[in-house]
Amino acid sequence: MIDALIVGAGPVGCKVAELLGKEGIKVLVLEEHAKIGRPVQCAGLVSHRIFKLSKVSRKVVVNRVRKARFYSLNNYIELKSKKNVYVIDREKFDEELVKKARSVGAVIKTSTRFLSYKKGEFLAVKTNKGIFRTKLLVGADGPNSNVARTARIKLPDNKLTGVQTTIKSHYNSKTVELWFDSEISPEFFGWVIPENKDWARIGLATKKNAVKYLDSFFLKRFNRKIKCKKILAGTIGYGLMDNSVSNKILLVGDAACQVKPFSGGGLIYGLIGAKFAAKACIKSLKNGRYDSEFLKENYDDAWKEKLAWPIKKGLILSKLIHSFSDNQLSFLFSSFQKGKLTKLLEFADMDLL
């Protein structure tokens, strides 16, 4: 018998496991991939809050940036950050969190896929490696959550396909680039995230034809066609869920759409969600209450009190910026760069968008 079974050994799932393990709770984490941290499905650009929330070391840092350029056609607006923004090695980041979870007794099984579950006094979770009985099931299995689907918890319809590769060229190592252009990404934007002055992560997200748009982005950014041997791809789901719990089940991280709608970033919000999920699980086990009403009050309502408004703001901002045509947005960026509004925008918190 397991107290809490977590599906997904990404950063959020491992953080929940670590927090529960510290309380002496019996935890099992299932990871479908053979190696944790692969495949990488993240741009790896995070704020200073990442270290407080995750407790990982600075060894995961690849680069520190202080500026962001927002491009539209031939104009751009440049914003300076008051604090460092970090480019991290996601594989090393994940590995540190796995070690933290294991150090407090959490068991992590790789190459183990969640398939389904049967209801009863406890949940009988079926996997490709056998059946496990658990009091609580935590879905930390991403935007296409099998746990959510099996539990019939509705996810928002907003989904994008993100693609990214790493390209050698010449970059300003302290400046991130965000490209808003309907020929690059009609629904999102393209990004250039420098690892150093010679290498950068280049990517974008869109609803369809992502690789085709990536070729268009290469042509605009580098003025030439570029052949890439390795392109990473992943799904970005965003929006505010009506509900993230069911009887004996709760969703967290990308599975609960704890994602910034404007940027698609899920690490900060997901790690915040992990703390709420762990607290709810501890309280649930202590009180012997596993029903959806209890989990809604102690988890769903709690995390939304913290993140619902930032998510709503991100949705509004994303809808607003993509309501402009390329020419209109280019004109706005040009006007902002020449005026004083740029200084005001620099006070904006990237984690609240």
DSSP string, 75-137: EEEEEEEEEEEEEE-HHHHHHHHHHHHHHTT-EEESS--EEEEE-SSSEEEEETTEEEEEEEE
What's the CA dihedral at 80, 85, 89, 90 to 10 degrees? -110
Q: Has residue 245 been placed in a domain?
A: yes
- Judge whether 251 lies within some domain: yes
Average pLDDT, the chain: 93
Residue 52 lies in a domain: no
pLDDT of 30 higher than 60? yes
Cα separation, 247 vs 266, in Å, equals 25
CATH code, 269: 3.50.50.60
Predicted local distance difference test score (pLDDT) of residue 341 = 57
pLDDT tens figures, 249-258 = 999 999 999 9
Strands (E), the chain: 2-7, 27-30, 45-46, 61-72, 75-88, 107-109, 114-118, 123-127, 130-139, 159-168, 175-179, 190-194, 199-206, 232-237, 245-246, 249-251
* Residue 74 within a domain: no
- The yes-or-no verdict on residue 183 having pLDDT over 90 is yes
User: What Å distances lie between residue 53 and 58, 94, 213, 265, CA to CA?
Assistant: 13, 13, 34, 15
pLDDT in tens, 84-123: 999 999 999 999 999 999 999 999 999 999 999 999 999 9
Q: Which two tokens stand for residue 143?
A: 């935007």
Question: Do the domain assignments include residue 309?
Answer: yes
Q: Note whether residue 333 is domain-resident.
A: no
The pLDDT assigned to 343 comes to 58
Which pLDDT band holds residue 81 (cuts at 50, 70, 90)? confident
- pLDDT at position 38 is 79
Whether pLDDT at 345 is above 60: no
Q: What is the pLDDT of residue 173?
A: 96
Residue 329 pLDDT more than 70?
A: yes
Percent of the chain with pLDDT over 90: 85
Q: Residue 245 pLDDT > 80, yes or no?
A: yes
Tell me, what's the pLDDT at 100?
Answer: 97
Please give the residue range of the domain that contains residue 28. 2-42+92-156+239-324
* Residue 273 covered by a domain: yes
Residue 40's pLDDT band (boundaries 50, 70, 90)? confident
Q: Please give the pLDDT value at position 302.
A: 98
Residue 157 pLDDT greater than 80, yes or no = yes
pLDDT grade for 342, boundaries at 50, 70 and 90: low
Domain count within the chain: 1
pLDDT value of residue 187: 93
Domain assignment present for residue 283? The answer is yes
**Residues 112-154: tens digit of each pLDDT:** 999 999 999 999 999 999 999 999 999 999 999 999 999 999 9
In tens, the pLDDT along 256-303 reads 999 999 999 999 999 999 999 999 999 999 999 999 999 999 999 999
